[in-house]
Amino acid sequence: MQEKVEKFIVPIGPQHPALKEPGHFEFSVDGEEVTGATIRLGFVHRGIEKMTESRTWIQNLYMLERVCGICSHVHGIAYTLGVEKLAGVTVPPRAQAIRTIVLELERIQSHMLWLGVAAHEGGFDTLFMYSWRDRETVMDLFELISGNRVQHSVNLVGGVKYDITAEQKQKILDGVSYLEGRLQYYEKIITTDDTFLGRTRNVGKMTKEEATLLGAVGPTARASGVERDVRVESPYASYPDHPVNIVLDEGGDLTSRFIVRIRELFESIRVIREILTNLPESELTVRVPRRIPAGEVISRVEAPRGELFYYIKSAGGENPYRIKIRTPSLCNWGTVSSVAIGHKLADMPMLLVGIDPCFSCNDRLVTVRQETGSQTMYWEDLRKYGVEYYQ
């Protein structure tokens, strides 16, 4: 007799309470145990790479900052560093320092956001509420520096917009000191609370070998003991003068990912303090020509989620010829589908957020809108449509 094994598939997404952004996963389950996983992306596909080719170098900065809402500054940094290298200009040291401070503040913000989301997925809403409450401290610091909480837009092509005054410096130092205390407390919770450890220990275990093979980056790789951190390997901005110590953990499971992310923040706080106390005096901007000389450049920076890779090619005009963006989440996807198998369904949301996925980061190429199945609209048309709609 031929036995027909029927797969019971639990879809997660594109709309699902566990996912704050659209992505689609299908988990085949046997009882509570997951036997397979597939991924489909593209639900928030916006066509940014194509759009860069029709915009000026300056306009592109603001669009690329919007690739991701959580790590907008790091996209700006990757882009401006690349463009400045192509143009052959060096940004003044004070601007570099301010960029680095905002980078590290952004890392704190991003990891605390992630801590809250991960706790929520684990059904620990109290930790979620508290970590987001404390994250407000960083958001207030962004407000202090740039006026905006999320899209700080501190960068200019060729420098930064905002200076940090002595008074602000003190406020930032106070803010990070408060956060340091809170983070120590959260570290204690995630490493000692038994109900929480029950959900994270030995979940999603990935060995160093697997992490290397699957091409994991950022905290996901570092939690498996892979030494990958662009800030250390190829320092940019102020990192050559204020080196970062790499934070590693050998566990490879979710607990390790929690630990690595939180410990990384202590390192961030240390770097912020170090730079703030040695803030160099200089101009904030340098002139960058409107036409960038022909050439190509590769710009790598360490985003909160891992290595962010930009390939920028200029043909000498006012617009870039080609910009390729490879975001860290894209590298880490591969790890989920292979690690998921054999785990409980209840662990899936935790496993997904374990890599801190950013859907907008993955989906960035061409925007299309379906109009009753027949007409496909391109971005310009869509925009016209939108403008007309509201007139």
Partner 1 sequence: METEKLFTIAEALLKPWAKEYKRPDENRLDVYLVREDLLEAVEGLAQARWGYLSAISGVDLVPPAQDGTGENQEGRLEVLYHFCNSAAVLSLRIEIPYSDAHVPSVCGIIPSATIYERELMELFGITVVDTPVPDHLVLPDDWPDGVFPLRKSFTGFDSPQAQES
Partner 2 sequence: MSIGTMFGDIIKSLFKKPATEKYPFERKAEPERLRSKLHWEPEKCTGCMMCVKDCPANALELEVIDRAKKQFVMRYYIDRCTFCDQCVRSCRFDCLHLSNDEWELASLGAEPMTITYGREEDIQFLLDKKANPDNPGGHPECN
Partner 3 sequence: MSLTLPSLVSILVFPAGMFLILLGMVYEYVDRKLVARYQNRFGPRWFQPLADMFKLLAKEEIIPDGVNKALFIFLPILGVTAALTSALYTPMLGFAPAFSFRGDLILVVYMLSVLTICLGLAGANTVDRFSLVGATRTLTQLFSYEAPFMLTLLGPALAAGTLQISQINAYAQDTWWMILTQPIGFLVALIGLMGKLELPPFDAPEAETEIVSGALTEYSGRGLALFRIGKNVELVIGLTLISAFYLGGLANPLEFILKTLGLLLVIALLQSLFARLRIDQTVGLWWRIGAILALVQILILVVSRLFF
Q: Which residues bind partner 3 (CB under 8 A)?
A: 8-11, 16-18, 29, 32, 119-127, 129-130, 133, 193, 195-196, 198-199, 344-349
Instruction: Tell me: does residue 207 bind partner 1 (CB under 8 A).
Output: no
Residue type at 24?
H
Query: Which candidate, 230, 266, 267, places its Cα nearest to that of 245?
Result: 267
Q: State the DSSP code for 30.
A: E
Q: State the DSSP code for 374.
A: T
Instruction: Tell me: does residue 63 bind partner 2 (CB under 8 A).
Output: yes
Q: Which 133-152 residues touch partner 2, going by CB under 8 A? A: 133, 136, 143-148, 151
- CB closer to partner 2 out of 20 and 383: 383
DSSP letter for each residue of 134-145:
HHHHHHHHHHHH
Pairing of strands 295-303, 306-314: antiparallel
Residues 6+ apart with CB under 8 A from 192: none
Helix (H) or strand (E) segment spanning residue 299: strand 295-303
Residue type at 64?
L
Instruction: Tell me: does residue 319 bind partner 1 (CB under 8 A).
Output: no
Partner that binds at residue 151, options partner 2, partner 3, partner 1, none, CB closer than 5 to 8 Å by kind: partner 2
Instruction: Tell me: does residue 366 bind partner 1 (CB under 8 A).
Output: yes
88: left (phi over 0), alpha (psi -120 to 50) or beta: left
Pull the structure tokens for residue 88. 């052959």
- CB closer to partner 3 out of 9 and 315: 9
Judging by beta carbons within 10 Å of its beta carbon (0-12, 13-18, 19+), is residue 161 exposed, middle or buried? middle
Shortest distance, position 125 Cβ to partner 1, whole Å? 33
Partner that binds at residue 42, options partner 2, partner 1, partner 3, none, CB closer than 5 to 8 Å by kind: partner 1
Rule CB under 8 A: which residues touch partner 1?
41-42, 45, 47, 49-50, 53, 85, 212-215, 233-234, 295-298, 300, 307, 309, 311, 313, 321-322, 324, 326, 330-331, 333-334, 362-363, 365-366, 368, 370, 373, 376-381
Rule CB under 8 A: which residues touch partner 2?
55-56, 58-63, 126-127, 130, 133, 136, 143-148, 151, 153, 156, 161-162, 185, 188-189, 192-195, 390-391
